């Protein structure tokens, strides 16, 4: 059994991670940590996880000595200060936050308004999007788990970029997210009386996921890619729906687009390409690790419309972290996360 610890276990991503790990057949949850809940039981903090065989008390992050792998579900700037000690102790680390996603330290400093806490670890960190970086993940000790918006965008665009079929100067991205993506902390935008029945764009031109998106898209394209990205909060708890429009070359119909995507993802269990005429819905992926993608070609303007749907707490965070752990351990990627969506 792989002994794992979760730092930041009282948050939404940390709680979802524990829900999955609790029934993973090859994992033992050794320790959970949250500085604001030290000494409390897991059942007190997250009653949904009150399982008879999961009786844990929150400990300090430093008390992870017995773990083989530690998940860090903590704010940016915190994970970078923890990771070095864990790695030096021979433990593997999966950071669900932002500290080990961006390779250019000056870009990190600009977008996160602080210097990176462990620049010496950046080169060994692997961006943990399995469908793109599987071979590197296999041998990694430190994973930067992708953000939720970037996961929905990168998977949606990868086939076109790698085929050289995308007009990279025309990419416009609109993403809709449930409010759980903001975490468990309080804020005016997330109060029920404000978000119920309300739609709001935010972080326009300044969202911190932009450099992560552009870094990975540029790598896929083999050239610098800049995007226009607008995120929105919608009155749902979880789920992301991303709609991307861009000019395309080499394809002239929806059927050709579908064929391109099916070929690219033909061996990927967790990416489901929708047939012509069907587009993804968040209800079809909630509680799962699936990413559903649908494509449409608009011949009037010679542009493609690509729509993707993920669960922001699943493929956008916790279940993708488990997928990375499975790869690092040499197990089937599907182990413990091959659940269908929760519906309705």
Q: What is the DSSP string of 181-204?
A: GG-SS--GGGSHHHHTT--EE-ST
C-alpha 286/C-alpha 66 separation (Å) is 33
Please tell me the predicted confidence (pLDDT) of residue 234: 96
The average pLDDT across 220-225 equals 98
Which residues, 6 or more positions from 240, have their beta carbon under 8 angstroms from its beta carbon?
148, 149, 152, 175, 176, 177, 178, 181, 282, 308, 309, 310, 311, 312, 316
Q: Which of 54-63, 120-129, 211-220, 269-278 has the lowest mean pLDDT?
A: 54-63
The token pair that represents 114 in the structure block: 């602080």
pLDDT of residue 96: 98
With 0.95 as the threshold, say if the pTM is over it.
yes
- Residues with Cβ < 8 Å from 47, sequence gap 6 or more? none
Short-list 121, 182, 119, CA closest to 312: 182
Sketch out the chain's domains with CATH numbers: 2-146+316-329 (3.40.50.720), 149-310 (3.30.360.10)
The yes-or-no verdict on residue 36 having pLDDT over 90 is no
SS3 content of the chain, % helix, strand, coil (to 5): 35, 20, 45
**Which runs of consecutive H residues, i.e. helices, occur in the chain?**
12-21, 42-45, 79-88, 105-112, 130-138, 148-162, 192-195, 210-221, 254-264, 318-329
Task: Give the pLDDT score at 164.
Answer: 97
Percent of the residues in the chain that have a pLDDT greater than 70, as a whole number: 100
| Cα–Cα distance for residue pair 31/60, rounded to 1 Å | 9
Q: What is the mean pLDDT of residues 215-243?
A: 97
The pLDDT assigned to 47 comes to 94
Distances (CA, A) of 159 to 209, 219, 245: 20, 13, 14
Determine contact, residues 48/37, Cβ cutoff 8 Å.
Answer: no
Q: Could you give the CA distance from residue 243 to residue 221 in angstroms, rounded to a whole number?
A: 19
Tokens of 40: 């409390």
Please give the Cα distance from 309 to 158 (Å, whole number). Answer: 15
CA 263-264-265 angle, to 5 degrees, is: 95
pLDDT of 223 over the 80 cut: yes
According to the model, what pLDDT value does residue 191 have? 84
- pLDDT value at residue 154: 99
Q: What CA–CA distance (Å, rounded) separates 12 from 320?
A: 14
- Residues 150 and 212 sit within 8 Å (Cβ to Cβ): yes
183 confidence band (pLDDT: 50, 70, 90): confident
pLDDT tens by residue, 292-343:
999 999 999 999 999 999 999 999 999 999 999 999 999 999 999 999 999 9
What pLDDT, on the 0 to 100 scale, is given for residue 196?
93
From 72, 78, 76, select the one nearest 92 (Cα to Cα): 72
**Residue 138 has what pLDDT?**
98
C-beta neighbour count of 198 within 10 angstroms = 11
pLDDT tens sequence across 149-162? 999 999 999 999 99
pLDDT in tens, 236-257: 999 999 999 999 999 999 999 9
Whether residue 190 is predicted with pLDDT greater than 90 in this model: the reply is: no
Could you list the active site residues?
148
Q: What is the structure's pLDDT at 188? A: 80
194: pLDDT confidence band, cut at 50, 70 and 90? confident
Distance CA 333, CA 319 (A): 10
């Amino acid at each position: 059994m792989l002994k794992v610890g979760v730092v930041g276990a009282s948050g939404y991503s940390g709680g979802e991670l524990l829900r999955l790990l609790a029934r993973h057949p090859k994992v033992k949850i050794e320790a959970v940590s949250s500085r604001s809940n030290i000494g409390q039981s897991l059942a007190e903090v997250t009653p949904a996880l009150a399982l008879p065989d999961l009786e844990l008390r929150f400990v300090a992050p430093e008390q992870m000595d017995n773990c083989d792998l530690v998940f860090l579900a903590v704010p940016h700037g915190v994970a970078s200060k923890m990771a070095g000690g864990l790695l030096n102790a021979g433990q593997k680390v999966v950071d669900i936050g932002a500290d080990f996603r961006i390779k250019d330290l000056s870009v990190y400093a600009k977008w996160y308004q602080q210097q990176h806490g462990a620049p010496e670890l950046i080169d060994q960190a692997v961006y943990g999007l399995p469908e793109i970086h599987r071979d590197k993940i296999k041998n990694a000790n430190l994973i930067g788990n992708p953000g939720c918006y970037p996961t929905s965008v990168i998977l949606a665009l990868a086939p076109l970029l790698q085929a050289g079929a995308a007009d990279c100067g025309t990419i416009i991205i609109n993403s809709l997210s449930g409010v759980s993506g903001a975490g468990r902390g309080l804020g005016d935008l997330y109060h029920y009386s404000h978000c119920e029945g309300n739609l709001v764009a935010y972080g326009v031109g300044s969202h911190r996921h932009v450099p992560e998106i552009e870094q990975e898209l540029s790598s896929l394209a083999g050239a610098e890619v800049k995007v226009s990205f607008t995120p929105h909060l919608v009155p749902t708890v979880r789920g992301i729906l991303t709609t991307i429009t861009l000019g395309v070359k080499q394809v002239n119909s929806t059927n050709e687009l579908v064929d391109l995507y099916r070929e690219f993802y033909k061996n990927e269990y967790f990416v489901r390409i929708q047939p012509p005429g069907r587009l993804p819905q968040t209800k079809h992926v909630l509680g799962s690790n699936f990413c559903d993608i649908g494509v449409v070609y608009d011949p009037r303007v010679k542009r493609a419309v690509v729509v993707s749907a993920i669960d922001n707490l699943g493929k956008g965070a916790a279940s993708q972290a488990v997928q990375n752990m499975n790869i690092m351990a040499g197990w089937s990627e599907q182990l413990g996360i091959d659940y269908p969506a929760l519906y309705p």
